[in-house]
Amino acid sequence: MNVKSKELKVKVLLLITGSIAAVRIPLLVSQLVKDNYEIKCVVSENAEKLIQPLSLSILSRNNCILDKDQWSYLHSRPLHIDLCEWADVLIIAPLTATTLSKWVTGNADGLISSILIANNKPIIVAPAMNSKMWSNKAVQRNYVYLKDYPNVLILKPSKGILACDEIGVGKIPPNDLIQLALKFLLLQNKKPYYRDLLNKEFLITGGCTSENIDAARKITNNSSGTMGLMLAQVARFRGAKVKYIHGPLKNKLDITEGINTYEIDNSNDLIQEIEKEISKCDYFIMNAAVADFKISGDTSKKIPKSKFEDFLNKNIEYVPDILKEISKVKKENQIFVGFCAFTGSFKSAKKSIKEKIMLKGCDLLFANPIDIEDQGFGSLAKNEGWLFDKKNMENYLEKTSKIELANNLIDEIISTKK
């Protein structure tokens, strides 16, 4: 059976240059094709030495384009112009120091550099090089120039073990993150991509907290941290400085790169970290699902079942409402946003949701159902909900992907401050 979709596909032009990280690109091509993108690969002369163009042709279902093809008599129009016009979005992965230098200095001596200079479409940039090269003053100068280019979304190189066997910053960003950035750019509906949140700071919490009952048991919940992570990455893609405080992340996506993350375990850790950061932020989004109860007694030993009920009765207590407490130190120019999960019908939950926004002292409260299949806690797919403010505003944000919902929510949040 032919599984090829007849739907109109997004056209992605993938530019591959001569870093050892190029060996990871065939897997990215395969993943993008499975996600129903149409892919054309352009391979530099040096990248040809690292990966087989034939493999990319087979995986992409399109002929792989080589640097020498720029001068082929088979093209009736300039190839670099044709490719730029064909593409909806471009990805350059990996981007080497040499190609970066050519790009920012206007050196169009090859097919890929000609494409970069002629392009006016959104482009995702995934640098990869040795950490000493990345930290070099000339490379950093070129990187700073590139950050100001319109339509350019830069994913910084990751930290890890490099090809020289050293640990440092220089690894190509994870494929999951490149795919997430691509989904984000497509939300712009062909509008120019720009960083509208430059010089803004977001403090975002997400995931679950857990409280030890004893040496073997915990009180926790099903929050995966995915929604908070999507909010953090969207804010970062839009130019903001982001701190993401989270419990254990339960999804398998490698998409934390590029944001400042801090993992916590319990409610005490969470509130302490929030208190350190809260005065610095313009926007505080309390997406973490905090466990409702904690134990006041000694939790270092396992409690026998015969004594468990009595132990709970004597030692269990409510966890303070963190958003309510933090809202007491809210500055006039800050926007605080809370989250509220509910089950059952929205109509029956509406009254208690409205009461919560006044009780918690936040500017906005987003209420989302968690008892619908493929939504809410743990879901990587979709979500929906209602956004409230203190003035009886009630906006329904329709069911969509979590990355799109995060983008829509941030639109609503920043409009509150205007």
Q: Which run of H or E residues covers position 201?
A: strand 201-206
Q: Is 208 considered catalytic here?
A: no
Catalytic site residue from 41, 64, 84, 164: 164
Counting Cα atoms < 13 Å in the Cβ hemisphere of 182 gives 28
389 annotated ligand binder: no
Answer yes or no: are the C-beta atoms of 47 and 16 closer than 8 Å.
Answer: yes
Provide the residue type at 290 as one letter: V
339 annotated ligand binder: yes
How far apart, in whole angstroms, are the C-alpha atoms of residue 123 and residue 126? Answer: 10
CB atoms within 10 A of CB 46: 16
Length of the chain: 418
Phi, psi at 77, each rounded to 5°: -130, 160
Structure tokens, 65: 């384009």
292 annotated ligand binder: yes
Check residue 43 and give left, alpha or beta (phi > 0: left; psi -120 to 50: alpha). beta
241 annotated ligand binder: no
88 annotated ligand binder: no
How far apart, in whole angstroms, are the C-alpha atoms of residue 142 and residue 160? Answer: 23
| Residue whose entry in the numeric block shows the structure tokens 């918690």 | 360
Answer yes or no: are the C-beta atoms of 396 and 368 closer than 8 Å.
Answer: no
Q: Please provide the DSSP assignment of 292-332 as one string.
A: SEEE-S--SSPPPHHHHHHHHHHHEEEPP-HHHHHHTT--T
Bridge partners of residue 202, in order along the sequence: 242, 283
How far apart, in whole angstroms, are the C-alpha atoms of residue 161 and residue 349? Answer: 50
360 annotated ligand binder: yes
356 annotated ligand binder: yes
Q: Which run of H or E residues covers position 231?
A: helix 226-237
Answer yes or no: are the C-beta atoms of 151 and 123 closer than 8 Å.
Answer: yes
Q: What is the dihedral of CA 242, 272, 325, 209, to 10 degrees?
A: 80
Annotated binding residues, written as ranges, equal 292, 302, 320-323, 339, 356, 360
Annotated binding residues for CTP, written as ranges, equal 292, 302, 320-323, 339, 356, 360
Catalytic residues: 164
